[in-house]
Amino acid sequence: MHTFVQVLILGVLTGGVYALMSTGQTLVFGVMRVVNVAQGMLVILSAYLSYTVHQKLGIDPFATIVIVMPVMFAATRPSTARSPRATRTLP
């Protein structure tokens, strides 16, 4: 019974991650009409970093989110920042 509950919880969590990924892809495609695969790459990179932190430091996998999320935000922030040219208005 314990294994069934564990499998059920992990299935729901995995489905939630897939739902978040697909919602983000749908939003980007709906607004920009461009298929953006960089978002999926960032999700996979975050999962790999979380797994690595779990293996090397022995921290609970769900607790590694607290470590990985700020790291990924800081790593991707320069690439998503608006350039000064983008804020200039046309005459």
Percent of the chain with pLDDT over 70: 85
Q: Can you point out the beta strands (E) in 1-91?
A: none
Amino acid (1-letter code) at residue 34? V
Q: With a cut of 60, say whether residue 28 has pLDDT above it.
A: yes
Tokens of 34: 């461009």
Mean pLDDT within 36-65: 89
Tokens of 7: 């499998």
Q: With a cut of 60, say whether residue 90 has pLDDT above it.
A: no
Confidence class for position 51, pLDDT limits 50, 70, 90? very high
Q: Please tell me the predicted confidence (pLDDT) of residue 68.
A: 93
* DSSP per residue, 6-63: HHHHHHHHHHHHHHHHHHHHHHHHHHH-S---HHHHHHHHHHHHHHHHHHHH---TTT
